[in-house]
Amino acid sequence: MNSLLESGRISQPTYELFESEMNEAIAEIEKQREALLDKIAVKASVAS
């Protein structure tokens, strides 16, 4: 995305919006990943 901004293909506000939305999506994915890992750990401990 930086190259798009630097080349003038997207504006600064567009860059900032996309960056914000991507950061939110990444945070949500990480949250879901942690929840899944917790579920796996619980199932693994119950199975042991």
Q: What is the pLDDT of residue 9?
A: 97
Q: What is the pLDDT of residue 46?
A: 87
Dump pLDDT digits (tens) for 10-38: 999 999 999 999 999 999 999 999 999 99
Q: Which domain holds residue 42?
A: 2-47
Measured torsion, CA atoms of residues 7, 12, 14, 17, in degrees rounded to the nearest 10: 130
* Amino acid symbol at 34: E
The count of structural domains within the chain is 1
Whether residue 48 is predicted with pLDDT greater than 80 in this model: the reply is no
Dump pLDDT digits (tens) for 2-11: 999 999 999 9
- Residue that has been written with the tokens 């990943």 in this structure: 33
What's the pTM value of the predicted model, to 2 decimals?
Answer: 0.76
